[in-house]
């Protein structure tokens, strides 16, 4: 097993990308190569499968891709979907391939639910009905087959034009899924949240290793309109891509380039002892060390532990990857 300079926790895969001039789908060979290399990183325990500008449910090979991910041995496998195309899948097999299936609102439906948006009532009704029935069917299959995979429905924070939680609560097999509200700090309120809670930048460049459908390592797993690529495994090793000069430069300068305006750029860190460490050593050195060691330092700083040795030595020199 391999240890990198930073500890990525998640391998994020764009199985389909329709944001460019043509729709690109990750091939089985490309997926296999990425999974084999990612499995050698001992800090990665979770694979996230998603689409950019299109839904993974539209893929005819979704179940095969999911099985390949499962057979590689990653314990946590999360499928992010808006539900589009998911009724054409082998539902039981999707549940067996992924440990979590997370439904979010399709873009068109989300736009119709904004409280100050002019709404086409007929369109809203049709879109909502399709989305709710898809979730209900997945909940029914999960219950009928007593499948252990988790079913999650994520809805936006804030006011919507209808009581979406109420509509979800009316579905049959409601006990088979849980509803979770989306969260996230705004990049436009960093100073205020720094004062209120303590603020650090998005951890994706250090904790999420993302590959686009084209096989190139990219800097973000989300839908943000700008995307930067750092090369493929045909051009360099996984370590070379992750620790290379191009990605290191992007980590340092991303707030002034591709990440400008991203609503997820900042995240709150509510332990004052950790934010003080983050402020004193800087973003990159903060992320060079495992979270359990950082938590230990925070516990010591807050008087929860008597040992002081780790806090004196952890930041003396950067951790060397093995």
Q: Do 164 and 217 sit in the same domain of this protein?
A: yes
Sorting pLDDT into bands at 50, 70 and 90, what band is 100? very high
Q: Determine the longest span between alpha carbons in the chain, in angstroms.
A: 65
From 122-136, 243-257, 303-317, the region with the lowest mean pLDDT: 303-317
Look at residue 196 in the predicted model and tell me its pLDDT. 47
Look at residue 258 in the predicted model and tell me its pLDDT. 72
Sorting pLDDT into bands at 50, 70 and 90, what band is 187? very low
Q: Do 49 and 176 sit in the same domain of this protein?
A: yes
Average model confidence (pLDDT) for the chain? 85
Look at residue 186 in the predicted model and tell me its pLDDT. 41
Q: Do 60 and 140 sit in the same domain of this protein?
A: yes
User: In this structure, is residue 36 part of a structural domain?
Assistant: yes
pTM value is 0.84
Q: Do 226 and 287 sit in the same domain of this protein?
A: no
Look at residue 121 in the predicted model and tell me its pLDDT. 87
Residue 260 clears pLDDT 90, i.e. is over it = no
Residue 189: phi, psi to the nearest 5?
-130, 30
Q: Do 99 and 209 sit in the same domain of this protein?
A: yes
Q: Do 129 and 260 sit in the same domain of this protein?
A: no
Tens of pLDDT, residue by residue over 198-226, are 567 788 888 999 999 999 999 887 776 56
Residue 296 clears pLDDT 60, i.e. is over it = yes
Determine the average pLDDT of the residues in 6-23.
91
User: In this structure, is residue 321 part of a structural domain?
Assistant: no
Look at residue 263 in the predicted model and tell me its pLDDT. 67
Is 184 strand, coil or helix?
coil
Tens of pLDDT, residue by residue over 113-150, are 887 777 788 999 999 999 999 999 999 999 999 999 99
Length, in residues, of the chain:
322
Q: Do 193 and 133 sit in the same domain of this protein?
A: yes
Determine the average pLDDT of the residues in 10-14.
96
Determine the average pLDDT of the residues in 279-296.
77
Q: Does residue 162 contact residue 198 with C-beta atoms inside 8 Å?
A: no
Look at residue 270 in the predicted model and tell me its pLDDT. 61
Q: Do 186 and 214 sit in the same domain of this protein?
A: yes
Residue 205: phi, psi to the nearest 5?
-65, -15
For the chain, the straight-line distance linking the first and the last C-alpha, in angstroms and rounded, comes to 9
Which has the higher per-residue pLDDT, 180 or 269?
180
Q: Do 258 and 237 sit in the same domain of this protein?
A: no
Q: Do 53 and 134 sit in the same domain of this protein?
A: yes
Supply 96's token pair.
Answer: 């067996």
Name the DSSP letter for residue 254. G
Look at residue 135 in the predicted model and tell me its pLDDT. 98
Name the DSSP letter for residue 2. B
Q: How many domains does the chain have?
A: 2
Look at residue 177 in the predicted model and tell me its pLDDT. 97
Determine the average pLDDT of the residues in 238-254.
92
User: In this structure, is residue 279 part of a structural domain?
Assistant: yes
């Amino acid at each position: 097993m391999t240890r990198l300079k930073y500890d990525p926790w998640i391998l994020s895969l764009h199985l389909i990308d329709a944001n460019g001039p043509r729709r690109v789908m990750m091939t089985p060979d490309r997926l296999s190569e990425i999974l084999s290399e990612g499995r050698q990183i001992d800090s990665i325990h979770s694979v996230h499968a998603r689409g950019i500008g299109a839904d993974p449910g539209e893929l005819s090979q979704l179940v095969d891709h999911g099985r390949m991910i499962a057979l590689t041995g990653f314990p946590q496998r999360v499928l992010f979907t808006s539900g589009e195309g998911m009724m054409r899948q082998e539902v039981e097999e999707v549940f067996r391939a992924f440990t979590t299936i997370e439904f979010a609102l399709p873009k068109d439906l989300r736009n119709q639910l904004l409280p100050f948006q002019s709404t086409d009532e007929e369109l809203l009704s049709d879109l909502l009905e399709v989305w709710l029935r898809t979730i209900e069917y997945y909940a029914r299959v999960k219950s009928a087959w007593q499948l252990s995979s988790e079913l999650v429905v994520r809805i936006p924070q804030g006011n919507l034009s209808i009581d979406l939680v109420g509509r979800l609560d009316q579905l049959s097999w409601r006990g088979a899924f849980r509803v979770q509200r989306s969260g996230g700090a705004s990049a436009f309120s960093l100073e205020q949240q720094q004062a209120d809670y303590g603020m650090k930048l998005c951890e994706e460049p250090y904790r999420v290793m993302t590959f686009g459908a084209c096989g190139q390592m990219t800097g973000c797993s989300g839908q943000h309109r700008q995307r930067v690529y750092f090369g493929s495994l045909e051009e360099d090793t996984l370590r070379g891509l992750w620790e290379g000069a191009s990605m290191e430069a992007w980590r340092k300068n991303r707030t002034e380039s591709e990440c400008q305006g991203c609503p997820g750029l900042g995240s709150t860190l509510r332990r004052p002892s950790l934010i003080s460490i983050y402020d004193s050593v800087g973003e990159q050195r903060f992320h060079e060390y495992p979270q359990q060691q950082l938590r230990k330092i925070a516990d010591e700083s807050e008087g929860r532990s008597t040992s002081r040795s780790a806090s004196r030595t952890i930041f003396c020199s950067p951790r060397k990857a093995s």
